[in-house]
Amino acid sequence: MVVRRENMETENINIGIKQENLEELDPKAKKYLRGDGANLEVLRDKRLKGQLSVKEKLYGQSAKAAAMAEKWLLPTEHGYLEAEGLEKTWRIKQETILQEVDIISSRKPFDMVLKDLGPYRFDYTLSGRYMLVGGRKGHLAMIDMITMDLIKEFQVRETVRDVVFLHNEQFFAVAQKRYPYIYNRHGTEIHCLKEHGAPLKLQFLDKQFLLVSINKFGQLHYQDVSTGEIVGNYRTGLGRTDVMETNPYNAIISLGHAGGKVTMWKPTNPKPLVTMLCHHGPITALAFHYNGHLMATAGIDRKIKLWDIRKFQVLRSYSSYAQSMDFSQKGLLALSNGSQVQIWRDPVGSHDYGRYMNHSMVKGYQIGKVCFRPYEDVLGIGHSMGISSILVPGSGEPNFDSWVANPYETKKQRREKEVHSLLDKLQPETIMLDPSKIGTVRPPRKKVRPSKKEVEAELDETVQKAKSVTFKNKTKGRSKPSKKAKKKEEVVLNAKRSFRELHQVEERPLKKQKVDEVELPKSLQRFARKKL
């Protein structure tokens, strides 16, 4: 009996602790609820009311469980660098950071020197686990960034201008000298896209399964890789460009041109949706924030500007130069210039970016691309002598959603995700500047009809204006008072007629007009109604 009482007491204590935790997490659990709960008091059907009440309880329990997980499992503070006293964060070098981090993080920075095959371009998968490397002289390789194993390496013996992953790490596209090619992870050529011409830059829209390319003639191509159809083929008309980026918020493709303009395109429109004059010279780099509302542009006029896409106006302008730019998941901005890399940070959230970190490559290295690795505090650098990687504390999102991007997914999970993504594929028509308009109905315009008094007042004004018209005096008896009166009557009648046609006012007779009796033939007179 004593043992049972002790067990009962411990159970009561645990229940009390759980209730206290749930009471603490009630305000935090609200953001995980699926909107406002259903109003069950209005329902009269008892069965339906009971089913909905059970579901509402389950929704509340799941929200509380998510809040519990956020409290105990997810970190609450960002891991940014903090300077003490007169120290500056941009003076802290990579050697100092490597001495302070754990063993796993210390293995992430590396320098891969490949002198004869550069300059190099690269791309990460959505989960950040795999990296695709492409050298200008035809060298292609895929690397597992967690185990640092080389998955595949081969030589195409042709100029490679850009590389990009498709929907997962099983397929990737390469912009080669004459055409873009699609390969699988084993290096086998799957497709040759001859309709695209000689590509300079590639992008992939994962929600729509669209491969986008811009060739050396300034021609923009959209191709659906799931069906093989070309969705769009448009001439930009602004010359050759190799500056192309995708807005992650609405999947709009943006191009930077030699005249200082930025054009925004969607696959179902032959003309650009937006044309912005951003700089007084050729644009060298473009980057979009993850929320999709902030755009950074760099021009040869040595200006870096931050734009609010919702208003299309400049927020900040800095005197600097950049050949490549990229935003991290936490909003850090990486800039490259020659052999120097700068990382800017917005500490307050007012779009006032300042220096956060600096990194210098070996003198003579020309940096071609900088790109943050998703879900990691790592910045990848592609330069003329190979690929490098540095640590940038606070740049990556620490908590990944396994339904969106899972770095540790198995083969079965990958297949399931591919099937679901194909079933949930969005059509090209859904790409627009404001994706919140999808599924909404345009409200009908209500025709405001004037009241009876307002119509009568307007009619009186037109009649008065018509009566006040003056006529020229004519000779030979043509200006008699009787003729002038007839002319005024005609003017008034014409004004009334035009007013009724304009306002669609129908004249209704006050009394019903009697129908004139018609004499019937003698053969039908016996059927006529007799008068009393």
Residue 84 lies in a domain: no
Residue 134 lies in a domain: yes
Distance of CA 348 to the CA centre of its chain: 24
For the beta carbon of residue 262, count every other beta carbon within 10 angstroms: 23
Q: Clarify whether residues 154 and 230 are in a common domain.
A: yes
Q: Clarify whether residues 26 and 105 are in a common domain.
A: no
Q: Clarify whether residues 341 and 276 are in a common domain.
A: yes
The CATH number assigned to the domain holding 385 equals 2.130.10.10
Q: Clarify whether residues 372 and 301 are in a common domain.
A: yes
Q: Clarify whether residues 206 and 100 are in a common domain.
A: yes
pLDDT at 167 over 80: yes
- Percent of the chain whose pLDDT exceeds 70: 86
Q: Model's pTM, two decimal places?
A: 0.73
Range of the domain at 153: 89-436
pLDDT at 140 over 80: yes
Q: Clarify whether residues 24 and 144 are in a common domain.
A: no
pLDDT at 149 over 90: yes
Cα R_g (the chain), whole angstroms: 36
What angle separates helix 46-72 from helix 2-29, to the nearest 10 degrees?
90
Residue 72 to residue 195: CA distance in whole angstroms: 53
Residue 66 lies in a domain: yes
Q: Clarify whether residues 239 and 283 are in a common domain.
A: yes
**More confident call, 158 vs 8:** 158
Across 170-327, the runs of DSSP E, i.e. the strands, are: 171-176, 180-184, 189-192, 199-205, 210-215, 219-224, 230-235, 243-246, 253-256, 261-265, 274-277, 283-288, 294-299, 303-308, 313-318, 324-327
Residue 520 lies in a domain: no
Across 130-164, b (16+ Cβ under 10 Å) vs e yields bbbbbbebbbbbbbebbeeeebeeeebeeebbbbb
Q: Clarify whether residues 207 and 66 are in a common domain.
A: no
Computed over every residue of the chain, the mean pLDDT equals 85
Q: Clarify whether residues 43 and 142 are in a common domain.
A: no
* Burial (CB count within 10 angstroms: exposed 0-12, middle 13-18, buried 19+), residue 187: middle
Q: Are 373 and 379 in contact (CB under 8 A)?
A: yes
**Domain final residue, candidates 29, 49, 73:** 73
Residue 423 to residue 403: CA distance in whole angstroms: 15
**More confident call, 144 vs 8:** 144
**More confident call, 278 vs 512:** 278
Closest CA to 309 of 285, 287, 329: 287
Q: Clarify whether residues 287 and 248 are in a common domain.
A: yes
**Domain final residue, candidates 436, 469, 487:** 436
Residue 12 lies in a domain: yes
Q: Clarify whether residues 26 and 158 are in a common domain.
A: no
Place of tokens 């003698």: 522
pLDDT at 529 over 90: no
Residue 491 lies in a domain: no
pLDDT at 247 over 50: yes
Residue 529 lies in a domain: no
Of the listed ranges 122-126, 352-356, 398-402, 406-410, the one predicted with least confidence:
398-402
Work out the pLDDT band at 514, boundaries 50, 70, 90.
Answer: low
**Domain final residue, candidates 44, 73, 102:** 73
Q: Clarify whether residues 208 and 311 are in a common domain.
A: yes
Residue 372 lies in a domain: yes
HSE of 346, CA atoms in CB hemisphere, 13 A: 16
pLDDT single digits (tens) 368-412: 999 999 999 999 999 999 999 999 999 998 888 888 899 999 999
pLDDT single digits (tens) 290-328: 999 999 999 999 999 999 999 999 999 999 999 999 999
In the chain, the number of structural domains is 2
Residue 133 to residue 369: CA distance in whole angstroms: 12
